[in-house]
Each structure stands twice: as C-alpha cells, then as structure tokens.
Structure 1
C-alpha cells in the first residue's frame, strides 16, 4: 500500500509526533536536538514560517538522530520543496488529486489528512492505510474515531488538532490510533526563550505516554 511500509515505522516509533513552527534554521536545529534528547526524534516542521524549509534542511544536515518531516503541505510545489530540503515524510491537512499525484511520484511517504467517510473511502481507493485525522477535536474527537473503527477496519490514524496531555492517552488507547500529533511538547514561549531543557523534559513525558 502507498507509503504505509515507510511511514508506519516512523509513526509507531513514538506516541507523540511534535508539530512545530520555527523562526530560523538555528532554532529548528536546537529544537530538534531537544526533542530527540527527550525521546521524540520524529518531528513535523510546518511550512507556516518563511524559515521552515531552511530549518528542515539544517535539521537533516546537523541532527542525524532526528527524523524530520514537513507539515502543512498544501500543494505539489510545497511537496517538492520539502522533499528537496530533505524531509523524511510529508504531512498535509487534507488531500487533493494534485497532492496525491505528487506523492505517487515521490519516494518520500505521505500522511494525508482525512476526516469524513467519503474522504476515507477515497484514500482507501488510493491505497492509503494511515491517515492524519485533522482537526481531531473539532471533527468529533474520540467518539468519532471510535465509531469509524468497525467500519474502516484497515485504517489507522494520527489525530492532530486539539490533542493535549489531558486527552492524548485517551486517543492512544483507541485501536485505530497509531500516534498523535501535538504542539504542547514545544510551546512557542519556550522555543522563543531557548529553554531547550524544559522542552526535553516535556518530550520525555510525552514519549512515555501510552493508551
């Protein structure tokens, strides 16, 4: 199946995938080191800042212990740029025909966002078995994912959006959830102030989460 064999080892390697935005390559490198030190080597750097692509390239070059992916990919040109920067996986909040075509042509695995039954069916037809569920809380959260499990038995999810330390364990306890995405392990204030030890501590707590 498309991407599954390459993507699952990344997503099952840790219960929480940090979803982060950075303002410089240097900040990205320090953040990736702090998160990896806490047991969260896989990190999703979102393309929400001008520095994102440079940060991804720097993390790939300077933090070998990290598995750096790119998130908030909205079109094929961003997909291509993220792959060129060295991203190990690509995450999108949704999926379009153009994005799916770009993923089909790339060796870098793709985690597309899907929420409705029709979207899930479409992704299954494209060969996807692992999907991002976004925005998780706003789309129905735990109860919604639980109701999907008996109908879409082959699908696994990474819920992102509104996931926090308060509900992460509940999500992780669901049989169709492989991991969660969250930004709480790298708060903007801690990143801005360079409080990397505190981020490592948060990552360590998240790395021990189990359903």
Structure 2
C-alpha cells in the first residue's frame, strides 16, 4: 500500500471527500486518480465511510494513499485503520487519537490552528499538522508567519483552500495542501459533475507541478 509520504512526494495535495452518501465515492476517487492526485481522504462523517474505505483499499489504483478524516476518538482511529485507511486526519488536537494511532503505527495529520496548538500536535506525535481553517486566518500569509518561528514542523493547510491559491500555500512553506469543497464540488452527489471535477483536478496538478519544477 502506498504511504502518505510517498503519495505527497509525487503530488503535494490531499483531496478531501465529504459527502451525503458514499455511493459515488469510488467514481470520485477514480476521477482524482486519473487526473494525477495521489492522496485521498474520506471523512467519517460520510454515511458508510468505513465500508467504502474497506472496498476502496482493496481496489485502489496504484500509487494512491487512502486516509480517513474527521477521526475524533480512539475507537474511530481503530475502526478506520482496520477498514484499511493508511493515514488518519483529525480536525483538532486530540491526544486520544494521537496515542491510539501511535499504538497502531498509522500516521496522523492532526488539526491545529494557533502556534500553541501546532506545537502541541507536533510534540504529541502528529506526522503532519493540518492548519485548519487556514483561509479564515489569512491564508498563505498566516502560514508564512507561523513558519517563521516553527520552520521544522510540516504544515498542511486546509479549510477554504481554493484550487487557484493552492500553489501560494506551497510558496509560503506548506508541506502539502488539502482541498475539499473547492476541489470536489458536487461530484460526490448522485448527479454530480465528474467532468468538472476532472478539470479542476488537472488544473490543481498543473499549478502545483509548475511550482515544483520552477
């Protein structure tokens, strides 16, 4: 199974799928993979998420890392890991999740916002620290300011990150970016537009690739 680090080494972006149903999740993941995205998070707030993760884990395209998001407690961490998630994402600093993930040997992208929370997440064992909600705090400028005194903590901004601003976060020092609604749009709905999703995903890849190879 592809690790998160391997996936982000090829494309520094995590696609966040949060949907009213898991029925369309396989089609969304396939569309993202075909466009070149290599890391996908399915939030546990999506009905049927654990079953969807189990099904996807056995049929993922090569090179894709699949994670579970909105993991709120130790039981959720265990369930997601057993379902087949190769990484976990939390919305906040949750020591119980960090401790359980450490016991399971699964990396956590731990949510935080302030410098105090970011340090707590990092010292608590987070593999990466998710800066959330990044856009509400000033976007790339906030990330750049935080990285001044904390240059060695790998940050992944999410929350309102637009496709056309994703590269700005990398320029500000982000290890990767994570995009939900601005990338997925309505694609996870029953009649959602997968063609538009593919177009947005390719645009994201193009913008990030152009920066990486600049």
* TM-score relative to the length of structure 1: 0.87
- Report how far residue 193 of structure 1 moved: 1.6
- Report how far residue 139 of structure 1 moved: 2.9
User: How many pairs are equivalent?
Assistant: 205
- Report how far residue 90 of structure 1 moved: 0.5
Q: Alignment RMSD, CA only?
A: 2.0
Tell me if the contact between 1:15 and 1:206 (Cα under 8 Å) persists in the aligned partners: no
1:200 aligns to 2:195 (yes or no): no
Q: Aligned equivalents of 2:152 and 2:127: distance in 1?
A: 6
- For residue 141 of structure 1, the aligned residue among 139, 144, 160 is 139
- Report how far residue 149 of structure 1 moved: 1.5
Higher relative contact order (CA closer than 8 Å, sequence separation 6+)? 1
Which segments of 5 or more consecutive residues in structure 2 lack a partner in the other structure? none
Q: Aligned equivalents of 2:113 and 2:90: distance in 1?
A: 12
What SS class does the counterpart of residue 138 from structure 1 fall into?
helix
- Report how far residue 110 of structure 1 moved: 0.8
Q: Aligned equivalents of 2:47 and 2:30: distance in 1?
A: 21
- Report how far residue 190 of structure 1 moved: 6.2
Give every structure 1 segment of 4 or more consecutive aligned residues whose post-TM-superposition deviation is greater than 3 Å.
22-26
Q: Which residue of 2 aligns with 1:77?
A: 75
What SS class does the counterpart of residue 68 from structure 1 fall into?
strand
- Report how far residue 197 of structure 1 moved: 3.2
> Structure 1, residues 46-76: CA drift from partner, whole Å, max 9, x if none?
1112221111111112223332111111111
What SS class does the counterpart of residue 137 from structure 2 fall into?
coil
Structure 2 CA distance for partners of 1:194 and 1:58, relative to 1, 3 Å: farther
